Structure 1
Amino acid sequence: MKLDYLQALKRVNDARGAWVLHGQEPLLEQNLLDAFRASWTNQEIERQRYEINNVGDWKNVFNALNSLSLFSNQLAIEAHGNIKPDASGLKELNNYLQHNEQNLLLIIMPKQDSNSLKSNFFKTIDANGVNVALTANYPKDRQQILAVEAEKLGIKLANDAWKWLEQHHEHNLLAAKNSLMRVSDTFPDIELIQIEHLYSCLQDQSRYTTYDLNDAVLQGNLSQSIKIYQYLIASGEPMTLVLWSISKEMRLLMQLFEQPHHADKLGIWKTKISLYQQALRRLNPNSFLTWPDLLLRIDASIKGLGHENPEHLLQQAIASLCGKPLFIN
């Protein structure tokens, strides 16, 4: 079954079997993940996360799906990566889909090309699971998605204000959502947001975005990266979105290290390939081993679990991405 983003949001609470989320829209991915995690918490469903760095990692995923803990009746597994199961993994996937009706395997992948979408893996998902393309290719789609975000904030935009917002952010949904948050905070008593409201509060506040942070860390510019990071935090950027941005770059770099000639299949824009290749030449591959644990610690600290400071941990991650760790073991 194929669903778009808004259709998928409506089915989160009843999701079972295997779902694949793939695309290049961080807002859509983060919103769906947040919705799934909230649903699992409300239903007391155990959650586990796995990073798929090689084909062998799928064995751990299917072993977990077939062995519930003593304290759980249901299990939700997040599998993050861009490596599909091999023939034996597809056999395990088919067996899971036929016999395990209670658990959920949620697979999060970057943008897929047309050949990938025709693979046996996606044919299996289309036939027996749920395939969600995280895309918003048309202005109508983007406005529908952002209208949902505006409704959450309790604001409405005039028609021409929507057009201005999209043009201002050049189809960047994540940046547009952040602008909606700013205009909501700046004009809490305005019933209908006009262009002049957007312009007055955004013209001086669009200095940096998470995309600027990504470019700075890939260039290895630690001072600029920390400067942008501190600006984002001070201006109210959610730490979850900063974490998403950093984890995406770490994941892409690790995957490119394993598959140096498949940058396009990993969803890296052609204009950015040289930037990632330069970053790989600069970085010590041994540092990659520390990244999954660091990301898990940041995620836990943002959620208030443990005693570590999420802002400090995010700075560690940024420094590591720049190839200049704050601490030396």
Structure 2
Amino acid sequence: MKLDYTQALNRITQVQGVWLMHGNEPLLEQNLISALRKHWQQQNIERQRFDLQNVNDWKQIFSALNSLSLFSTQLAIEVHGNIKPDAQGLKQLKAFLQNPQDNVLVIIFPKQESQSLKSAFFQTIEANGTLIGLTAYSRQDQQRILQIEAEKMGIQLTSQAWQWLLYHHENNLLSARNSLINVADSFSELEQIDIEQLQQSLQDQSRYSTFDLGDACLKGDLAQAIKILNFLLESGEAHALIFWVLQKEMRLLLQLFEQPQNALQLGIWKNKIALYQQALRRCNPSQLITWSSLLLRTDNAIKGIGHENSQDLLLQLVCALSGKPVLTL
């Protein structure tokens, strides 16, 4: 049987036989292992851990599964590593799967390639046990997983805050969860967490933030905007997050150009309407027309599509948003 992370999390109390989880998401691995350990503790199930160093370690694992201590009626064994059993070990695995006697073998492997998953070891577990892929490729899956974490902390995020969080951490769910912990500690009294709270809680010792970059561009202060951009790049800020802030402001201005009377409805704060109007006046329609193409090129460069340099394109976006001629690099 194959399960994804959420399905496995909902079946913790039903775990039996062999569970093998593999993937490259530490948060998902930690959560499942923690949930399993909690269940075993509540059920007074003895737990042992083995770290695979060589193929012979499998002999000790199956020996332990066949010899309970005097004080235990059930045993749960965690196996961490990336070494598959040999032919004799595979034979013992099949025998255990046929008669686990309420014992549980949980195997934690790193992400496996598709060819590896076709081996007899993985095929045996898929056919007679449970194979769990610890992956979350889509933004929708990532947000769904992180929303579970946010609910545990008692916080809610706006839709824009979710977008910001996912862009900021570039598919690193563990890092994103840590950011949720920080913002929950700082703003637990708020009904909803927005981008501003996320940004504030994560700034720490930073001299400039991506929001400072957006504001400098809107004010038309190109020198300050370039200074902030360089600081962010040198500090290792994710290109995707810098892009997210710039494209958000540019799309707002494009919408305001089309709907000049609907600033509030577009989500522009009342005290910032004048700032956006001034920024729009610095840009003529011929400049605005080029923005969509420039945004698409930058997005592709950040994703590794094409041969353009994302850092150069971010600088061009800063120039464009500041209402200045775009630098040709």
1:22–1:132 CA contact under 8 A, matched in 2? yes
Question: Is residue 100 of structure 2 the alignment partner of residue 100 of structure 1?
Answer: yes
Q: Distance in 1 between matches of 2:101 and 2:194?
A: 49
Mapping of residues 200-239 of structure 1, within 5 Å: 200-204=200-204
Alignment partner of 1:124 is 2:124: yes
SS of 1:7 mapped into structure 2: helix
Aligned CA-pair RMSD? 1.3
Would the alpha carbon gap of residues 24 and 197 (structure 1) be closer, same or farther in structure 2, given more than 3 Å must change?
same
Q: Partner of 1:155 in structure 2?
A: 155
Question: 2:86: which partner in 1?
Answer: 86
The ranges of structure 1 where at least 4 consecutive aligned residues each deviate by more than 4 angstroms after the TM superposition are none
Give the deviation of 1:204 after TM superposition: 2.2
Which residue is 2:195 aligned to? 195
Cα separation, 2, equivalents of 1:91 and 1:165: 47
Percent identity over the alignment is 60
CA distance, structure 1, for counterparts of residue 158 and residue 150 of structure 2: 12
Per the alignment, residue 266 of structure 1 pairs with: none
Q: How far is the alpha carbon of 1:205 from its aligned partner?
A: 6.4
Partner SS for 1:133:
strand
Tell me how far apart the structure 2 counterparts of residues 6 and 143 of structure 1 sit (CA, whole Å).
12
For 1:86 and 1:144, the matched residues in 2 are separated by 39
Q: Which amino acid aligns with 2:114?
A: S
Amino acid at match of 1:151: E
Matches within 5 A, 1:163-202: 163-202=163-202
Deviation string, structure 1 residues 134-175 (Cα, Å, up to 9, x no partner): 111010110010000000000011111100001011111011
- How far apart are the structure 1 equivalents of 2:108 and 2:152? 25
- CA, structure 1 residues 134+206, in 2 after alignment: closer, same or farther (shift >3 Å)? farther
CA shift digits 1:267-311 (9 cap, x unpaired): xxxxxxxxxxxxxxxxxxxxxxxxxxxxxxxxxxxxxxxxxxxxx
Query: Structure 2 counterpart of 1:121, which letter?
Result: F
Q: Which residue of 1 aligns with 2:18?
A: 18
2:32 is aligned to 32
The corresponding residue for 1:64 is: 64
Where 2:80 maps in the other structure, the secondary structure is strand
Post-superposition offset of 1:203: 2.1
Counterpart of 2:230? none
Paired residue secondary structure (2:127): helix
In structure 2, the partner of 1:253 is none
Q: Note closer, same or farther for the CA distance 1:88–1:166 as it changes in structure 2 (3 Å cut).
A: same
Tell me which structure has the larger Cα radius of gyration: 2
AA paired with 1:13? T
TM-score (norm 1): 0.62
Match of 1:5 in 2: 5
* 1:223-302 equivalent positions in 2, closer than 5 A: none
Residue-by-residue CA offset, 1:73-97 (whole Å, 9 max, x unaligned): 1000001110001111111001001
- Residue equivalent to 1:52: 52
**Matched residue SS, 1:192:** coil
Displacement, 1:101? 3.4
Q: What stretches of structure 2 of length at least 5 have no aligned partner?
A: 208-329
SS at match of 1:156: coil
Once the two structures are superposed, what CA deviation does each residue of 1:56-76 show, in whole Å capped at 9, x if it has no partner?
Answer: 100000001011111101000
Q: In 2 relative to 1, CA 100–205 (structure 1 residues): closer, same or farther, beyond 3 Å?
A: farther
SS at match of 1:193: coil
Q: Match of 1:4, as an amino acid?
A: D
Q: By how many angstroms is 1:114 displaced?
A: 1.1
Show the counterpart of 1:73: 73
Partner of 2:217: none
Q: Which residue of 1 aligns with 2:273?
A: none
| Aligned CA distance change for structure 1 residues 135 and 96 (closer, same or farther; 3 Å) | same
Q: Secondary structure at the match of 2:115?
A: helix
Q: TM-score, normalised by structure 2?
A: 0.62
Match of 1:251 in 2: none
SS in 2 for 1:20: strand
Compared CA separation, residues 206 and 62, structure 1 to 2 (3 A)? farther
Structure 1 residue ranges without an equivalent (≥5): 208-329
* In 2, Cα distance between equivalents of 1:188 and 1:87: 55
Q: Which amino acid aligns with 1:68?
A: L
- Equivalent-residue separation in structure 1 for 2:101 and 2:68 (angstroms): 13
